Amino acid sequence: MNVKRSLSLAGHRTSLALEPEFWTAAERLAGQRGQSLAAFVLDIDRTRGARNLASAVRVAVLADLTAPQRAVSSS
Protein backbone atom coordinates (compact mmCIF):
# COMPACT_ATOMS: atom_id res chain seq x y z
CA MET A 1 0.00 0.00 0.00
CA ASN A 2 1.28 3.45 -0.89
CA VAL A 3 2.04 6.04 1.75
CA LYS A 4 1.26 9.64 0.81
CA ARG A 5 3.52 12.43 2.04
CA SER A 6 3.45 16.15 1.47
CA LEU A 7 6.70 17.89 0.59
CA SER A 8 7.60 21.49 -0.13
CA LEU A 9 9.53 21.66 -3.41
CA ALA A 10 10.87 25.10 -4.34
CA GLY A 11 8.18 26.75 -2.24
CA HIS A 12 5.30 24.66 -3.59
CA ARG A 13 3.55 21.94 -1.62
CA THR A 14 3.11 18.66 -3.44
CA SER A 15 1.90 15.23 -2.40
CA LEU A 16 3.75 12.10 -3.39
CA ALA A 17 2.55 8.52 -2.89
CA LEU A 18 5.17 5.76 -2.74
CA GLU A 19 5.46 2.31 -1.23
CA PRO A 20 7.06 2.38 2.25
CA GLU A 21 10.18 0.63 0.93
CA PHE A 22 10.76 3.42 -1.58
CA TRP A 23 10.31 6.08 1.10
CA THR A 24 12.87 4.30 3.28
CA ALA A 25 15.35 4.02 0.42
CA ALA A 26 14.82 7.64 -0.65
CA GLU A 27 15.42 8.85 2.92
CA ARG A 28 18.60 6.75 3.10
CA LEU A 29 19.88 8.14 -0.21
CA ALA A 30 19.08 11.71 0.81
CA GLY A 31 20.97 11.19 4.06
CA GLN A 32 23.98 9.72 2.25
CA ARG A 33 24.06 12.82 0.06
CA GLY A 34 23.68 15.18 3.01
CA GLN A 35 20.29 16.34 1.74
CA SER A 36 16.84 16.59 3.18
CA LEU A 37 14.25 14.33 1.60
CA ALA A 38 12.66 17.38 -0.03
CA ALA A 39 15.99 18.46 -1.57
CA PHE A 40 16.58 14.93 -2.88
CA VAL A 41 13.11 14.83 -4.47
CA LEU A 42 13.57 18.35 -5.86
CA ASP A 43 16.77 17.24 -7.64
CA ILE A 44 14.80 14.40 -9.22
CA ASP A 45 11.92 16.74 -10.07
CA ARG A 46 14.24 19.09 -11.95
CA THR A 47 15.54 16.33 -14.23
CA ARG A 48 12.55 14.03 -14.66
CA GLY A 49 11.26 15.25 -18.00
CA ALA A 50 7.72 14.03 -18.76
CA ARG A 51 7.77 11.15 -16.24
CA ASN A 52 5.49 11.64 -13.23
CA LEU A 53 7.29 12.47 -10.01
CA ALA A 54 6.48 9.25 -8.13
CA SER A 55 7.80 7.16 -11.03
CA ALA A 56 10.89 9.34 -11.30
CA VAL A 57 11.66 8.84 -7.59
CA ARG A 58 11.23 5.07 -7.93
CA VAL A 59 13.56 5.00 -10.95
CA ALA A 60 16.18 7.10 -9.14
CA VAL A 61 16.07 4.81 -6.10
CA LEU A 62 16.32 1.68 -8.25
CA ALA A 63 19.16 3.16 -10.29
CA ASP A 64 21.12 3.83 -7.11
CA LEU A 65 20.40 0.40 -5.66
CA THR A 66 21.44 -1.41 -8.85
CA ALA A 67 24.51 0.75 -9.59
CA PRO A 68 26.90 -1.55 -7.66
CA GLN A 69 25.53 -4.57 -9.54
CA ARG A 70 26.01 -2.84 -12.90
CA ALA A 71 29.58 -1.91 -11.99
CA VAL A 72 30.43 -5.52 -11.06
CA SER A 73 28.79 -7.03 -14.14
CA SER A 74 30.55 -4.63 -16.51
CA SER A 75 34.01 -5.40 -15.07
Position 30 in a domain: no
Position 26 in a domain: no
Position 8 in a domain: yes
Position 27 in a domain: no
Position 12 in a domain: yes
- 24 band by pLDDT with thresholds 50, 70 and 90: very high
Please give the pLDDT value at position 69: 66
Residue ranges making up the domain that contains 9: 3-18+36-73
Position 7 in a domain: yes
22 contacts 57 by C-beta, under 8 angstroms? yes
What is the reported pTM?
0.85
Counted domains in the chain: 1
Angle at 28 between CA 23 and CA 30, to 5 degrees: 95
Q: Write out pLDDT tens, residues 37-49.
A: 999 999 999 999 9
